């Protein structure tokens, strides 16, 4: 993981200020969605090598939930955006 993360609200900050939740791709299904849909959301991960989207929280800064788009092999960070601006991926 890169040592610096550019927070869209606070600017570039050390990685220690951030806390990771996990994969930002799965979208929470509707409460009464089929079991298979819930299983996919809860348990199944694409887990690609390369470009991924991940949820991080800037816990020692603005405390906003962020979507970090980065490479999980080279650790390059491509973009960081506020999770509430994401289509569907927001919580």
Question: Does 15 sit near other proteins (CB under 8 A)?
Answer: yes
Cβ neighbour number for residue 5 with a 10 Å cutoff: 22
Rounded Cα distance between 1 and 90, Å, is: 23
Question: Does 22 sit near other proteins (CB under 8 A)?
Answer: yes
Return the residue matching tokens 């999770």.
Answer: 83
Question: Does 52 sit near other proteins (CB under 8 A)?
Answer: yes
Of these, 20, 27, 34, 37, which contacts other proteins (CB under 8 A)? 20
Of these, 34, 44, 59, 85, which contacts other proteins (CB under 8 A)? 44
In whole angstroms, the minimum distance from the beta carbon of 63 to other proteins comes to 18
Of these, 6, 10, 29, 72, which contacts other proteins (CB under 8 A)? 72
Question: Does 60 sit near other proteins (CB under 8 A)?
Answer: no
> Which two structure tokens, joined as six digits, stand for 34?
């089929």
Rounded Cα distance between 91 and 35, Å, is: 21
For residue 22, give the H/E element and its range. strand 19-23
């Amino acid at each position: 993981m890169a040592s610096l993360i550019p927070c869209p609200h606070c600017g570039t900050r050390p990685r220690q200020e951030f806390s990771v939740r996990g994969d930002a791709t799965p979208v929470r299904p509707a409460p009464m969605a089929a079991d298979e849909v819930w299983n996919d959301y809860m348990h199944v991960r694409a887990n690609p090598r390369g470009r991924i989207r991940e949820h991080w929280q800037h816990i020692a800064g603005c405390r906003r939930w962020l979507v970090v788009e980065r490479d999980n092999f080279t650790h390059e960070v491509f973009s960081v955006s506020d999770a509430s601006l994401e289509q569907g991926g927001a919580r």
